[in-house]
Amino acid sequence: MTETIKLISPVDGSVYAERAAADAAAVDRAVTAAKAAQPGWAATPLETRIGLCLKALEALLAMNEEIVPELAWQMGRPVRFGGEKGGVEERARYMASIAKDALANIVPPERPGFKRYLKMEPLGLVMVIAPWNYPFLTAGNTIFPALMAGNVVLLKHAAQTLLVGERFAEAFKKAGLPDGVFQNIVMTHEGTERLLGSGLVDHVNFTGSVAGGKAIEKALAGTFATMGLELGGKDPAYVMADADLDYAVANLVDGAFFNSGQCCCGIERIYVHESRYDAFVDGFVDLTKQYKLGNPLDAETTIGPMAQTRFATWVREQTEEALRKGAKAHIDTSAFPMDKAGTPYLAPQVLTNVNHQMSVMREESFGPVVGIMKVKDDAEAIQLMNDSPYGLTASIWTEDLDAAERIGGEIDTGTVFMNRCDYVDPGLVWTGVKDTGKGAALSQVGFANLTRPKSFHLRKEH
């Protein structure tokens, strides 16, 4: 019997889409087609590869009016935010703009009688296992540069965002990409693990949970495939004594609650210098109260349901544990009528009197709750920011650039922000440390991770 993958909408609990999972024969056909297409694609001039990717980007952007409500139905993001069009375009165009230089031969100092250089060659078959929270952005981070570099791509999208994979496939088909170069494939976890263990995949990019990353590593064991893993996060912010308080409040509230807090680099814990603590908390709470929880298809909604009820249940459990241990909740959830236990609709919550013995300050929440702690100085802030198994981003709010660089140098994280958060700059590498994962995306480093160096050492005289 053919197994199916069901997409349950967080909007109303209905089955929004259902697709048959590829069986072993279908997976074999997809891999065979990809392997057959890769040499010809790699031999295609770089300018042509880039041009076709940009045509696909244009096709994708042209679908945005249809994509926005699809996203609301699939994972709950309010339509008022317009989808992911701007971010996808910024990242894809930037990677296209640097591809020629990033993929150029590396030539060492001249040595008489020899021609020597390193050529950046594609890895071969790249598999992208994409998440649901930013389904176009996260997938595009690897898909576009992988194809530009001469790889072929198999996309397995999250069950929660099944239709996103189909949108990518439609866009690349409209662009005229050769058959087999990009394929969207619906797979079960078991089928994915079998493919990864086959040795036929050359590189895997996975964004998801720590447990999922460990499963990917286990499945790949012995295949020597390379991988990029972006896993959990518990991103901190430090508001210093000289911070522009209104600016910090506005941006950190957005950084904590945008997308219902379901952001890889969303703000999950905030440390505030004791001299600004009370004013910061007051401003933060006042702004949080202005959110409107509701149906994401309603243009007035500013925070929609979480993608699944179990995700909301976890955040509720974290919050309840913190309250039992003495935390103070500042948001009266009765002011958010849609907030109901047993549903994915969850009001934003601000907690104080928190500490690092509470799950909400140590374990990933990935939802609309944030804890705020008072600190006496930089040293205490640094110690607390580093007291986490994760390290994706950290943000510092100050008018002192030197201080931000000094403090940032002491934080174990992949990215240090000053006076901003929850943003991915394609000109900078996207990476994490500790349990957040390994590998890198975007920037010239992203191209390096999707290619392998091949040395040419040619002796002209003998």
Is 230 labeled as catalytic in the residue annotation? yes
Between CA 303 and CA 261 the distance in angstroms is 9
Largest CA distance in the chain: 85
Contact 359, 322 (CB under 8 A): yes
Which two three-digit tokens encode residue 302? 């500013």
Between CA 299 and CA 178 the distance in angstroms is 40
In DSSP terms, which residues pair with 228 in a beta bridge? 205
**Cβ within 8 Å of residue 80, ≥6 positions away:** 299, 300, 301, 302
Which two three-digit tokens encode residue 67? 């994509």
- DSSP of 116-181: EEEEEEE-SEEEEEE-SSSHHHHHHHHHHHHHHTT-EEEEEE-GGGHHHHHHHHHHHHHHTPPTTS
Residues for the chain: how many in total? 462
In DSSP terms, which residues pair with 154 in a beta bridge? 127, 183
For β-strands 235-239 and 393-397, DSSP reports them as: parallel
Between CA 184 and CA 174 the distance in angstroms is 14
**Cβ within 8 Å of residue 74, ≥6 positions away:** 7, 9, 16, 17, 132, 135, 160, 161, 162, 163, 164
User: With left for phi above 0 and alpha for psi between -120 and 50, is residue 283 left, alpha or beta?
Assistant: alpha
Of the chain, the end-to-end C-alpha distance in Å amounts to 67
Please report where in the chains the tokens 């149906």 appear, as a residue.
295
Q: Which of 70, 84, 230, 364 is catalytic?
A: 230
Residue 370's alpha-carbon distances to 208, 291, 328, 363, 457, in angstroms, are: 21, 15, 12, 12, 56
Catalytically active residues, by annotation: 230
